Chain A
């Protein structure tokens, strides 16, 4: 991988992230609602669940849809072809945009971590759990971006998947059958880990998250080999 190419793509993404209102909104929406609710909700017990609920939704939705929609937009607007002519490799491109999305997500999960009650160790654990969830979400987003032809098609693929992934933990609290399924999904495990943040990390839950990431990585390899970043 060439560093100058990686940094050029990262520069592009860094500049664009502040000008792309749709992406910016996806990053700011959940922390802003969480902060607002923390201000207006008086009940301390509900207050403590707000960062958990919104950070889980954020992890299930934002990295996934951002990665997918950025790739789809570049396909639609032919900028990806222009990069190909400048001998940019698909891996360099994905790492370039991925690094910026990753850093932006780190800032947001840091904000969520600071919203939690408790000692600094609790906040660090909260941050690490969300960081774990970021990885499968970004890989899944890349898969969906590769599968999409344009921005129209990405919306129809990403919306249902991101809704399922991010809202399953919430629905599972009301229905045991949903919980049976959702316990195999990484967002459910993140939610569980965050709800028990004061206890020891359950290795089984971490393994399920890593397992999800591994499955998405295999899926990514298959899709990437078959389709690459062809327009």
Chain B
């Protein structure tokens, strides 16, 4: 078990930000914590990474209480948060070299990770001359350089263009395929659907739904309809009538596509809370 969260609560100035959070994240899982801004996502990541202590409850990372994470645990985790610090005046290579030296990693690994995140040409470029997307990729390079078993990503693609976001998706997806457990917070539901094995929807500090993205969407698929797209028209048919409807079609070659119409995660979130995921 990578992460075990039991009844975690957090209050700031008597205001409850997290309310009885329970979660288990197994080794190798890609977990997404979805919620709008202010839902408590970053607070939970801060508790898990030892930056904050919970008001009550217990959060464990690799079996160790997050309030007292040891050097050994920190060695096994990589963290990417919204305002991860980089040394602006130093080059990409130097930024990684400092951490390689701290972790006791061979210099060769710097070239490997820069290559992986597509920044090998920028090794001597000062960080202050990089674009936002490049900086984020460098932060990810730093976080994965020591080959962590668990990766925390706090809004990793926030404010990035689709191309940069996609490149980051590919990097973290590959890390996960190679066995790294990923804990990601996001308010981007398509990102969560695309990448996560399991997600939890967080609102007002409470988990309001948990499961695989598909299962959650199917669970809230009340209408059970499909969209049949013809060359010149589109029809919405209920799922139970689909076979009968198709058998009535004389020329099936006119059908371009058939799409299921279950709600996406954003629709589910709106159904549950009446709010949008922003």
Which of A4, A77, A87 makes the CB contact (< 8 A) with B101? A4
Q: Mark B173-192, 1 if CB is under 8 A from A, else 0.
A: 00000000000000000000
B245 contacts chain A at the CB level, 8 A cutoff: no
CB 8 Å contact bits of A88-103 with B (1 = contact, 0 = none): 1000000000000000
Given A4, A16, A81, A88, which contacts B87 in the complex, CB threshold below 8 Å?
A16
Which residues of chain A from 60 to 91 have a CB within 8 Å of any chain B CB? 74, 77-83, 85-88
For A87, give its contact among B49, B75, B90, B98 (CB under 8 Å): B75
**Binary interface encoding of chain B residues 97-121 relative to chain A, with 1 for a CB under 8 A from any of its CBs, else 0:** 1110111100000000000000000
Q: Which residues does chain A contribute within 8 Å of B79, judged by CB atoms? A: 85
- For B142, the chain A residues whose CB sits under 8 A away are 82
Bound-state CA distance A79–B86 (Å) is: 6
A181 CB, min distance to chain B CBs, angstroms: 40
Q: Smallest CB-CB separation from B69: which chain A residue?
A: A87
A8 in contact with B101 (CB, 8 Å): yes
- Contact present for A82 and B85 (CB under 8 Å): yes
Query: A4-B104, A81-B51 are known contacts. Are A86 and B99 too (CB-CB below 8 A)?
Result: yes
Least distance between B155 CB and chain A CB atoms (Å): 14
Task: State whether A7 and B101 are in contact (beta carbons under 8 Å apart), knowing that A12-B90, A15-B90, A87-B75 are contacts in the complex.
Answer: yes
**How distant is B227 from chain A, measured CB to nearest CB, in Å?**
46
Tell me which residues across on chain B come within 8 A of A81, comparing CB atoms: 51, 81, 84-85
A78 with B102: in contact, given A16-B89, A19-B90 (CB under 8 Å)?
A: no
Task: Return B137 CB to nearest CB of chain A, in Å.
Answer: 15
Q: Does A206 contact B (CB under 8 A)?
A: no
Pick the most buried of A9, A19, A82, A88: most chain B CB atoms within 10 A of its CB.
A82
List of B residues within 8 angstroms of A78 by Cβ: 81, 83-85
Q: Please report the C-alpha to C-alpha distance between residue A81 and residue B84 in the assembled complex, in whole angstroms.
A: 8
Q: In the complex, what residue of chain A is closest to B88 when comparing beta carbons?
A: A77
List B residues 51-79 near A (Cβ within 8 Å). 51, 71, 74-75, 77, 79
B94 within 8 A of A: yes
Q: Could you tell me the distance between the alpha carbons of A87 and B90 in the complex, rounded to whole angstroms?
A: 21
Q: Distance (Å) between the CB of B172 and the closest chain A CB?
A: 17
Q: Are B85 and A85 in contact (CB under 8 A)?
A: no
Q: Does A117 contact B (CB under 8 A)?
A: no
B-chain residues with CB within 8 Å of residue A74 when the two chains form the complex: 85
Q: Which residues does chain B contribute within 8 Å of A12, judged by CB atoms? A: 87, 90, 94, 98
B74 and A11 contacting across the interface, CB-CB below 8 Å: no
User: Scoring A residues 9 to 49 as 1 if CB is less than 8 Å from chain B, else 0, what string do you get?
Assistant: 10110011001100000000000000000000000000000
Would you list 6 pairs from A and B whose C-beta atoms are within 8 A, ordered by A residue? A5-B101, A12-B98, A19-B90, A82-B84, A85-B74, A86-B103
| A-B CB proximity, top 9 nearest | A79-B85, A78-B85, A8-B101, A19-B89, A87-B71, A87-B74, A77-B85, A8-B102, A82-B85
